[in-house]
Structure 1
Amino acid sequence: MLVAQAIDHQCELSMTNSKEDRSILAVQGKYLGIFICWILGNGCLFGFNSILTIEDYFIYLLPKYHPTRVLTLTYQPFVLTISAVFTYHEAKVNTRRRNLVGYMLFFLSSLALVILDLATSGRGGIASFIGVCTIVAVFGIAEGHVEGAMTGDLSLMCPEFIQSFSAGMAASGAITSALRLVTKAAFENSRDGLRKGALLFFAISCFFALLCLLLYAYAFPRLPIVKFYRSKAASEGSLTVMADLAAGGIGSHPNSSAEEGAAPPERLSNKQLLVQNADYALHMFLIYLLTLSVFPGFLAEDVGSHSLGSWYALVLIASYNACDLIGRYLPLVGRIKLASRKGLSVAVLARFVLLPAYVLLRRQARRRGLDGRAGVGAWAEQRVPHRLRPHRGTQRVQGSGAERAGQLARVLPLGGHICRGRP
Structure 2
Amino acid sequence: MAGGDLETAAGVSAPLLPPPASSLADEPAAPPADRLGVGYLVFFTLGAGFLLPWNAFITAVDYFAFLYPGAPVDRVFSVAYMLSCLLPLLLIVLCFPKSSSPARINTGLALFTLALLVVPAMDAAYVKGRPGMYGAFDITVAATVLCGAADALVQGGVIGFAGELPERYMQAVVAGTAASRCGVLVSAMRVFTKALYPQDAHGLRQSANLYFIVGIVVMIMCIVCYNVAGKLPVVMYYKNIKKRAQKADVGGGMTGPAWRSTLWSIVGTVKWYGIGIIFIYAITLSIFPGFITEDVHSEALKDWYPILLISAYNVFDLIGKALPAVYFLPNANIAVAGSFARLLFYPLFYGCLHGPSFFRTEIPVTILTCLLGLTNGYLTCILMTLAPKAVPIHHSETAGIVIVLFLVVGLVVGSFVSWFWVI
Evaluate the alpha carbon distance shift between residue 371 and residue 187 of structure 1 in structure 2; reply closer, same or farther with a 3 A threshold.
farther
Q: How does 1:210-229 map to 2 (within 5 A)?
A: 210-217=220-227, 219-229=228-238
CA distance in 1, matches of 2:114, 2:29: 40
- Once the 2 structures are TM-superposed, how far is the Cα of residue 385 of structure 1 from its aligned partner? 2.4
Evaluate the alpha carbon distance shift between residue 303 and residue 204 of structure 1 in structure 2; reply closer, same or farther with a 3 A threshold.
same
Q: How does 1:313-352 map to 2 (within 5 A)?
A: 313-334=306-327, 337-352=328-343
Paired residue for 1:402? 396
Tell me the SS of whatever aligns to 1:344.
Answer: helix
Given that residues 183 and 201 in structure 1 are in contact (C-alpha distance below 8 angstroms), is that contact kept between their aligned partners in structure 2? no
Evaluate the alpha carbon distance shift between residue 189 and residue 281 of structure 1 in structure 2; reply closer, same or farther with a 3 A threshold.
closer
Give the aligned residue type for 2:175: A
Tell me the SS of whatever aligns to 2:230.
Answer: helix
Q: How does 1:44-63 map to 2 (within 5 A)?
A: 44-63=50-69
CA distance in 2, matches of 1:150, 1:184: 33
Q: How does 1:13-412 map to 2 (within 5 A)?
A: 22=28, 26-29=32-35, 31-119=37-125, 120-124=127-131, 125-173=133-181, 174=183, 175-188=185-198, 192-217=202-227, 219-237=228-246, 262=248, 264=250, 266=252, 269-299=262-292, 301-302=294-295, 306-334=299-327, 337-364=328-355, 367=357, 372-386=362-376, 387-388=378-379, 389=382, 391-412=385-406
Given that residues 296 and 353 in structure 2 are in contact (C-alpha distance below 8 angstroms), is that contact kept between their aligned partners in structure 1? no
Give the aligned residue type for 1:141: A
Structure 1 residues 380-389 or 71-80, which shifts more? 380-389
- Once the 2 structures are TM-superposed, how far is the Cα of residue 225 of structure 1 from its aligned partner? 1.2
Give the total of aligned pairs: 378
Paired residue for 1:418? 412
RMSD (CA atoms): 2.5
Given that residues 89 and 153 in structure 2 are in contact (C-alpha distance below 8 angstroms), is that contact kept between their aligned partners in structure 1? yes
Give the aligned residue type for 1:123: R
Given that residues 68 and 299 in structure 1 are in contact (C-alpha distance below 8 angstroms), is that contact kept between their aligned partners in structure 2? no
Given that residues 53 and 112 in structure 2 are in contact (C-alpha distance below 8 angstroms), is that contact kept between their aligned partners in structure 1? yes
- Once the 2 structures are TM-superposed, how far is the Cα of residue 190 of structure 1 from its aligned partner? 8.0
Evaluate the alpha carbon distance shift between residue 154 and residue 265 of structure 1 in structure 2; reply closer, same or farther with a 3 A threshold.
farther
CA distance in 1, matches of 2:167, 2:417: 35
CA distance in 2, matches of 1:76, 1:354: 22
Larger Rg: 1
CA distance in 2, matches of 1:32, 1:369: 46
> For structure 1, which runs of at least 5 residues remain unmatched after alignment?
1-18, 238-259
Given that residues 90 and 404 in structure 1 are in contact (C-alpha distance below 8 angstroms), is that contact kept between their aligned partners in structure 2? no
Given that residues 56 and 314 in structure 1 are in contact (C-alpha distance below 8 angstroms), is that contact kept between their aligned partners in structure 2? no
CA distance in 2, matches of 1:413, 1:263: 29
TM-score (norm 1): 0.82
Given that residues 183 and 198 in structure 1 are in contact (C-alpha distance below 8 angstroms), is that contact kept between their aligned partners in structure 2? no
> For structure 2, which runs of at least 5 residues remain unmatched after alignment?
1-25, 254-260, 419-423
- Once the 2 structures are TM-superposed, how far is the Cα of residue 25 of structure 1 from its aligned partner? 5.5
Given that residues 60 and 207 in structure 2 are in contact (C-alpha distance below 8 angstroms), is that contact kept between their aligned partners in structure 1? no
- Once the 2 structures are TM-superposed, how far is the Cα of residue 222 of structure 1 from its aligned partner? 1.7
Tell me the SS of whatever aligns to 2:70.
Answer: helix
- Once the 2 structures are TM-superposed, how far is the Cα of residue 154 of structure 1 from its aligned partner? 1.4
Given that residues 294 and 379 in structure 1 are in contact (C-alpha distance below 8 angstroms), is that contact kept between their aligned partners in structure 2? no
Tell me the SS of whatever aligns to 2:97.
Answer: helix
Evaluate the alpha carbon distance shift between residue 263 and residue 361 of structure 1 in structure 2; reply closer, same or farther with a 3 A threshold.
closer
Evaluate the alpha carbon distance shift between residue 38 and residue 353 of structure 1 in structure 2; reply closer, same or farther with a 3 A threshold.
same
